[in-house]
Structure 1
Amino acid sequence: MLIDYPGLSKVKDSVKKQIFFGNEPNAELIAILSVYFVQGILGLARLAVSFFLKDELSLSPVQVSAILGIVVLPWIIKPVFGFMSDGLPIFGYRRRPYLVLSGILGAISWVSLATIVHSSWAATIAIALGSLSVAVSDVIVDSLVVERARRESQADAGSLQSLCWGTSAVGGLMTAYFSGLLLEHFTTRTVFWITAAFPLIVSAVAWLITESPVSKDEKDDNSPNIKHQLQQLRQAITQKSIWLPTAFVFIWQATPTAESAFFFFSTNELHFEPEFLGRVRLVTSLASLIGVWIFQRFLKSVPFRVIFGWSTVLSTVLGMTMLLLVTHTNRALGIDDHWFSLGDSLILTVAGQIAYMPVLVLSARLCPPGVEATLFALLMSVFNLAGMVSFELGAIMMKWLGITENNFELLWLLVLITNLSTLLPLPFLNWLPADNPETETSASSNHAGQNLLPNLMSEFMLREPESKVVD
Structure 2
Amino acid sequence: MVVSTSSPSRLKQVLTEKVFFGNEPTPELLAILTVYFVQGILGLARLAVSFFLKDELGLTPAQVSALLGIVAIPWMVKPLFGFISDGFPILGYRRRPYLILSGLLGAVSWVMLATVVHSAWAATATIALSSLAIAVSDVIVDSLVVERARTETVQDSGSLQAICWGASALGGLITAYFSGFLLEKFDTHTVFLITASFPLIVSLIAGLISEPQAAQTSNWEQIRGQVTQLRGAIAQKAIWLPTAFLFLWQSTPTADSAFFFFTTNELGFSPEFLGRVRLVTSLASLLGIWMFQRFFRGVSFRQIFGWTTLISAALGMTMLLLVTHANRAIGIDDHWFSLGDSLVLTVMGQIAYMPVLVLAARLCPPGVEATLFALLMSVTNLASLLSYEFGAGLMHLLKVTESDFHNLWLLVVITNLSTLLPLPFLGWLPSQKDGEIVSSESSPEALPPSASAEVRPPVAVGELSDSQFVTVPPKES
TM-score (norm 2): 0.88
> Which residue pairs with 2:270 in the alignment?
273
Distance of aligned partners of 1:179 and 1:245 in 2 relative to their CA distance in 1, 3 Å threshold? same
In the alignment, what sits opposite 2:198? Answer: 198
Looking at secondary structure, tell me which structure has more helix per residue: 1
Q: Partners in 2 of 1:430 and 1:74 — Cα distance?
A: 31
Match of 1:424 in 2: 421
- 1:467 maps to 475
Task: Report the equivalent of 1:234.
Answer: 231
| Alpha-carbon distance in 1 for matches of 2:300, 2:155 | 26
Tell me how many residue pairs correspond in the alignment.
462
Listed as ranges, the matches of 1:42-57 within 5 Å are 42-57=42-57
Percentage of matched positions with identical amino acids: 66
Match of 1:74 in 2: 74
Equivalence for 1:412: 409
| 1:272-351 alignment runs, 5 A limit | 272-351=269-348
CA, structure 1 residues 241+150, in 2 after alignment: closer, same or farther (shift >3 Å)? closer
Return closer, same or farther for 1:22/1:226 CA change in 2, 3 Å cut-off: farther
| 1:323-370 deviations in Å (ceiling 9; x for gaps) | 1101111111111100111111112222223333443445456x2655
What is the CA distance between 1:4 and its match in structure 2? 9.4
Determine the C-alpha separation between the residues in 1 that align with 2:119 and 2:434: 49
How is 1:57-206 mapped onto 2 (pairs within 5 angstroms)? 57-149=57-149, 158-206=158-206
Partner SS for 1:8: helix
Q: Provide closer, same or farther for how the CA distance between residues 76 and 263 of structure 1 changes in structure 2, counting only shifts above 3 A.
A: same
CA distance in 1, matches of 2:436, 2:459: 17
State the TM-score, normalizing by the size of structure 1: 0.89
Structure 1 residues 121 and 26: alpha-carbon distance in aligned structure 2, compared to 1, 3 A threshold: same
Q: Residue 254 of structure 2 corresponds to which residue in structure 1?
A: 257
1:402 deviates by 1.0
Gap runs ≥5 in structure 1: none
Going from structure 1 to structure 2, the CA distance change for 1:295 and 1:192 (only over 3 Å counts) comes to same
The 1:258–1:302 alpha-carbon spacing in structure 2 relative to 1, beyond 3 Å, is same
How far apart, CA to CA, are the structure 1 residues paired with 2:27 and 2:66?
A: 41
Secondary structure of 1:219's counterpart equals coil
Corresponding letter in the other structure for 1:196: A
Cα gap change, 1:311 to 1:142, in 2 (>3 Å): closer
Alignment partner, residue 447 of structure 2:
none
Give the drift of 1:287. Answer: 1.7
Deviates more, 1:285-294 or 1:70-79: 285-294
> Counterparts of 2:351 and 2:436 in 1: how far apart (Å)?
20
- Shift in Å, 1:230: 2.3
Please state how far the C-alpha of 1:15 moved relative to its aligned partner.
3.6
Greater displacement, 287-296 / 244-253: 287-296
Corresponding residue for residue 393 of structure 2: 396
1:259–1:466 Cα contact (<8 Å) kept: no
Displacement of 1:431 in angstroms is 2.5
Partner Cα distance (2:316, 2:174) in 1: 27
Q: Which runs of 5+ in 2 are unaligned?
A: 439-443, 445-449
Change over 3 Å in CA distance of 1:436–1:184 after alignment to 2: farther
1:422-452 per-position Cα deviation (integer Å, ceiling 9, x unaligned): 11122323333355484445796574547x9
Q: Name the Cα RMSD after superposition.
A: 2.8
Note if contact 1:74-1:131 (Cα within 8 Å) is conserved in structure 2: yes
**Maintained 8 Å contact 1:78/1:135:** yes
Shift in alpha-carbon separation, 1:224–1:250, aligned structure 2, 3 A = same
Paired letter, 1:429:
L
SS of structure 2 residue aligned to 1:229? helix
Distance 2:289 2:175 in 1: 20
State the shift of 1:374 in Å.
3.8
Q: Distance in 1 between matches of 2:202 and 2:258?
A: 34
Which string of whole-angstrom CA distances, capped at 9 and with x for unpartnered residues, describes residues 201-230 of structure 1?
11122233345554xxx2316644442332
- Which whole-Å CA distance do the structure 2 matches of 1:308 and 1:156 have between them? 23
In 1, the alpha carbon distance for the partners of 2:173 and 2:297 equals 25
Query: Structure 1 residues 32, 364: CA separation in 2 closer, same or farther (over 3 Å shift)?
Result: closer
Question: SS at 2:89's partner residue?
Answer: coil
CA–CA distance in structure 1, aligned partners of residues 24 and 349 of structure 2: 35
Distance 1:422 1:230, change over 3 A: same
- Residue 18 to residue 288, structure 1, CA distance change in 2 (3 Å): closer
Partners of 1:304 and 1:437 within 8 A in 2: no
Is 1:219 the counterpart of 2:216? The answer is: yes
Higher alpha-carbon deviation: 351-360 or 323-332: 351-360
1:422–1:468: 8 Å Cα contact kept in structure 2? no
Report Cα offsets for 1:217-250 as digits up to 9, x if no partner. x231664444233223222222333222221221
Q: Tell me, what secondary structure is at the counterpart of 1:220? A: coil
Q: Residues 126-183 of structure 1, C-alpha deviation per residue, up to 9 Å, x if partnerless? A: 1111011111111222333444556666765554443333222211111111111111
Deviates further, 84-93 or 297-306: 297-306
1:375 to 1:86, Cα distance in 2 relative to 1, 3 A? closer
In the alignment, the residues of structure 2 paired with residue 109 and residue 252 of structure 1 have an alpha-carbon distance, to the nearest angstrom, of: 31
Assess, with a 3 A threshold, how the Cα gap between structure 1 residues 146 and 440 changes in structure 2: closer, same or farther: closer
**In structure 2, C-alpha distance between the alignment counterparts of 1:412 and 1:154, rounded to whole Å:** 47
What is the CA–CA distance in structure 2 between the aligned matches of 1:446 and 1:291, rounded to whole Å?
A: 29
AA aligned to 2:475 is S
C-alpha distance in 1 between matches for 2:284 and 2:208: 35
SS of 1:180's equivalent in the other structure is: helix
Change (3 A) 1:448 1:372: farther
- Partners of 1:39 and 1:134 within 8 A in 2: yes
Cα distance between partner residues in 1 of 2:307 and 2:346: 16
